[in-house]
Amino acid sequence: MSGHGTPIPMQAGHANPLTGAAHVPGDKSISHRSLMFGAMAVGKTEIFGLLEGEDVLDTAKAMRAFGAEVTQHGPGHWTVHGVGVGGLAEPDTVIDCGNSGTGVRLIMGMMATSPITATFTGDASLNKRPMARITDPLALFGTQSVGRSQGRLPLTIVGAENPVPVEYHLPVASAQVKSAVLLAGLNAPGKTVVVEPKATRDHTERMLRGFGAELTVEDTNEGRVITLTGQPELQPQTIHVPRDPSSAAFPVCAALITPGSDVLVPNIGLNPTRSGLFITLQEMGADLTFENEREEGGEPVADLRARYSPNMKGINVPEHRAASMIDEYPILSVVAANATGVTHMGGVHELRVKESDRIDAMAQGLRANGVSVDEGEDWWAVTGLGAGNVPGGATCETFLDHRIAMSFLILGFASKSAVAVNDGGPIATSFPIFEQLMGDLGANIERISV
């Protein structure tokens, strides 16, 4: 439940060369889904490597409120005794999803076709984010909802008593919307179809199949057509959560801009719907290699090796790549500031409705630290100053957004003067070991008083 606590101001100055291995936490998207799908299976799902960040812990709490037995046995080792599709209990308190859009949106989907009512809320960031993108398609199943203006949280969902299956064409490229519709389709009779014009992360499809659901994916002229047969009995699973490429992005990018660095980030999931950043960095001229490439649990996995890369160039990041790196634009903009030339990032309107308006948040902080940024509604461009030439010296607002906080601290590693953030508290939502891990590599991050 980040954003409810006292702000934690932090500052990062010049880092020593970053060296060693960076063992980043489990994948956030897969961790949420492991708990949720486990709750909808009949029997015991066992999870290893679960991300124990605040977002996922809020989802664990929510699953208990819907009747599942969720237990932690050791670091990252959890079990879920599920209640089955259609077996969800009605929570007797408000479900607080903290900072997590993925948590609240997927849970709304999973309960929307059960005859129960639940009220959802979150922190100040989540309560500003659009929810009509979820409640509109859920209404097609027969679900009712009442929220604040523009569908904002707090919001109550009245699940459909007699749900009907739905065919839904995604109006935005969003894995959260796709997943919410598919999860609602689980407890509707017949076939629910989602058509996505642009591919987004496909963990829901892969994992539902793994849990025994009948789900097909077809590539057509209209895009990916996903067909789910409702009311399956989901079979409990043993899940090894891969490490999060979106968290790996931080030590990788930090190494690329910090003189003398050579960092190994082992066991990173390289699902093509998630790995756009790494291709982009290579196009910019980063010394980034994939070692020990292999398959684990049906997902491509590799060890990433990133070395200091003082000659990176700005590029035009193709719009079609946006969905596969949507969470990585903040840290990419920090790398872009240390490259030469302009990095243009288009087709990224969705960045405006993340945990913060990420274009605005990064533009404000980069400009305050001496970097020129141009922006429009769905694009932005950073004019790089070349390696080590960012003046720094300013304090950046993080707007309750973990990725904004981590990005600006890393900016400080390679800037002439230290960079501060007004609140590093939200980092705990996705990367609770960030300070320790970066410190062990050689970074110089400190908590400060203001």
189 preceded by cis ω (within 30°)? Answer: no
Report the distance separating Cα 450 and Cα 437, nearest Å: 24
Pick from 12, 51, 75: nearest CA to 435: 12
Report the C-alpha gap between 308 and 287 in whole angstroms.
7
Is the CB of 175 or the CB of 441 nearer to ligand S3P?
Answer: 175
Q: Which of 281, 401, 426 is nearest to 351 (CA)?
A: 401
As a whole number of angstroms, the distance between CA 347 and CA 354 comes to: 15
Q: How far is the CB of 449 from ligand S3P (least distance, A)?
A: 31
How are beta strands 19-21 and 262-269 bridged, if at all?
Answer: parallel
Task: Decide whether 164 or 195 has the Cβ nearer to ligand S3P.
Answer: 195
Report in angstroms the alpha-carbon separations of 3 from 16, 362, 396: 31, 19, 16
- Which of 180/414 has CB closer to ligand S3P? 180
Q: How many CA atoms lie within 13 A of 287 on its CB side?
A: 17
- In the block, tokens 């990585």 appear at 328
Nearer to ligand S3P among residue 350 and residue 357 (C-beta): 350
Active-site residue, selected from the candidate residues 96, 327, 401, 423: 327
Q: Are 133 and 37 in contact (CB under 8 A)?
A: no
Largest Cα separation within the chain, whole Å, is: 62
Q: Which residues contact 232 (CB under 8 A, 6 or more apart)?
A: 85, 186, 212, 213, 214
Instruction: State the DSSP code for 91.
Output: P
Closer CB to ligand S3P, 326 or 414, in the complex:
326
Which residue lies nearer to ligand S3P by CB, 53 or 159? 53
In this structure, the strands spanning 69-74 and 287-296 are: unpaired
**Shortest Å, Cβ 35 to ligand S3P:** 12
> To the nearest whole angstrom, how small is the minimum distance from the Cβ of residue 112 to ligand S3P?
17
Residue 219 annotated among the catalytic residues of the structure? no
Comparing CB distances to ligand S3P, the nearer of 29 and 340 is 29
**Residue 171: is it exposed, middle or buried by C-beta count within 10 angstroms (0-12/13-18/19+)?**
exposed
Smaller CB separation from ligand S3P, 113 or 179:
179
Q: Which residues contact 31 (CB under 8 A, 6 or more apart)?
A: 47, 50, 51, 53, 56, 59, 241
| Rounded distance between C-alpha atoms, residue 251 and residue 258, angstroms | 10
Report in angstroms how near the CB of residue 291 gets to ligand S3P at its nearest. 26
Give the Å distances, CA to CA, from 423 to 2, 9, 38: 11, 5, 34
Quick check: 76 and 50 in contact, CB under 8 A?
yes
Query: Which chain residues interact with ligand S3P by CB under 6 A?
Result: 29, 102, 174-176, 179, 201, 326-327, 350
**Among 258, 268, 248, which residue's Cα sits nearest to residue 390?**
258
CB of 360 to ligand S3P, least distance (A): 16
Residue 308 in tokens: 């200091």
Catalytic residue numbers? 327
